[in-house]
């Protein structure tokens, strides 16, 4: 059973209460933000909880046992602490959210109700809605590695170890075709497809994944993105492109000379081989079946 602090318990036992909710959000980049539904700012535990932030709790589901519960919190983008660009760039993904019940007349009387993590975030107009997942949802996440032919590392991470500084190019947006396609100048020295499956980072911090990199007849690069741009891009805007990888052993060794760090299993037979039968045409000497 949860123990309620004596001061708060005494307040709750009275005939009238002055109770509100506060949320403390700790992002993965260590930025801490506080919000409250009260009409003035509150301070406790070294955090200032901002009023008039538009934060409000909506639906909540809880159950006994280890089932993951889900809640939602809504807020406005008008608060100086909430930036739409931060939401779009994923800086709130996986953030830790602590929910407190507080006596706003004496903020020292407060109690932590639960801890959640931010899941999916949706935006509409000048507001956002964030899904709050209980920590039990981690138990449903895949753990360990999957054995497959392709590499399971991300290009340039601690497992891959490729130095990405040699695989970047700087350009300038020449034209915007639509939200999923742009034309970039200044990349004539790179072959077609060099930045396919890579990342485009625009001046201002927004990023988008590249699907296709085409080299046009005029020497400019045509880029197609996996998803539409979240933020507007204008001609003349600087952009830095980082090469991508299709995670095959041939690309790892032939293009990046990084075969020693390849994190896949290229000789694992596929399902077509598992359901095949022995024939007399191939050599069965215990050697590698795939080169």
What's the pLDDT score for residue 78? 47
Q: Which residues contact 260 (CB under 8 A, 6 or more apart)?
A: none
Tokens of residue 223, six digits: 């880029």
Residue range 212-263, pLDDT digits in tens: 999 998 889 999 999 888 888 999 999 999 999 999 999 999 999 999 999 9
E runs forming strands in 125-234: 127-134, 168-178, 181-185, 199-202, 207-215, 221-225
CB of 250 closer than 8 Å to CB of 138? no
Domains and CATH numbers, the chain: 6-140 (2.40.10), 147-291 (2.40.30.20)
User: Cβ neighbours of residue 77 under 8 Å, at least 6 residues apart?
Assistant: 54, 83, 84, 87, 123, 126, 127, 128
Whole-angstrom distance, CA of residue 192 vs CA of residue 184: 13
pLDDT on residue 230: 82
Q: What's residue 12's pLDDT?
A: 92
Instruction: Give the pLDDT of residue 56.
Output: 60
* Residue (of 150, 162, 193) closest to 258 by Cα position: 162
Helix, strand or coil, per DSSP, at residue 227: coil
Distance separating alpha carbons of residues 78 and 88, to the nearest angstrom: 15
pLDDT surpasses 70 at 9:
yes
Place of tokens 């100048």: 185
The total of other beta-carbon atoms located within 10 Å of residue 12's CB is 14
Sheet hosting strand 127-134, strand order edge to edge: 42-44, 47-50, 32-36, 19-26, 96-103, 110-124, 127-134, 70-76, 56-60
> For residues 27 and 35, what is the distance between their CA atoms, to the nearest angstrom?
14
Closest by alpha carbon to 91, among 181, 29, 5?
Answer: 29
Tell me which range, 17-26, 120-129, 270-279, is most confidently predicted by mean pLDDT.
Answer: 17-26
pLDDT-derived band at 290, boundaries 50, 70, 90: low
Residue 81 bridge partners (DSSP): none
More confident residue, 103 or 75: 103
- Does pLDDT of 10 surpass 90? yes
**Residue 91 confidence (pLDDT):** 83
The phi and psi torsions of 30 (rounded to 5 degrees) equal 75, 5
**Digit-coded pLDDT (tens) for 23-81:** 899 998 899 989 888 989 999 999 999 886 656 655 444 544 444 455 666 655 445 66
| Tokens, residue 91 | 């800086």
pTM for the whole structure: 0.56
């Amino acid at each position: 059973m949860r123990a309620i602090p004596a001061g708060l318990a005494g307040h709750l036992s009275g005939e009238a209460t002055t109770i509100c909710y506060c949320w403390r959000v700790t992002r993965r980049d260590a930025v801490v933000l506080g919000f409250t539904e009260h009409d003035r700012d509150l301070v406790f535990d070294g955090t200032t909880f901002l009023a008039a932030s538009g934060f409000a709790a909506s639906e909540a589901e809880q159950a006994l046992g280890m089932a993951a519960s889900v809640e939602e919190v809504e807020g406005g983008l008008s608060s100086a602490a909430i930036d739409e660009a931060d939401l779009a760039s994923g800086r709130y993904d996986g953030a830790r959210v602590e929910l407190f019940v507080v006596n706003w007349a004496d903020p020292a009387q407060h109690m932590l109700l639960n801890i959640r993590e931010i899941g999916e975030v949706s935006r509409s107009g000048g507001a956002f809605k964030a899904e709050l997942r209980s920590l039990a949802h981690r138990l449903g996440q895949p753990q360990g590695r999957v054995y497959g032919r392709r590499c399971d590392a991300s290009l340039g991470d601690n497992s891959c170890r490729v130095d990405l500084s040699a695989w970047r190019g700087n350009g300038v947006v020449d034209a915007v075709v639509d939200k999923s396609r742009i034309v970039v100048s200044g990349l004539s020295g790179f072959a077609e497809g060099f930045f396919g499956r890579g990342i485009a980072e625009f001046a201002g911090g927004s990023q988008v994944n590249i699907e296709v990199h085409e080299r046009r007849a005029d020497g400019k690069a045509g880029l197609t993105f996996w998803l539409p741009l979240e933020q507007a891009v204008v001609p003349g805007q600087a952009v830095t492109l980082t090469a991508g990888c299709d995670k095959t052993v041939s690309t790892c060794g032939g293009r990046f000379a990084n075969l020693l760090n390849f994190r896949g299993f290229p000789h694992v037979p596929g399902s077509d081989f598992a359901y095949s039968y022995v024939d007399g045409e191939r050599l069965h000497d215990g050697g590698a079946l795939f080169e």
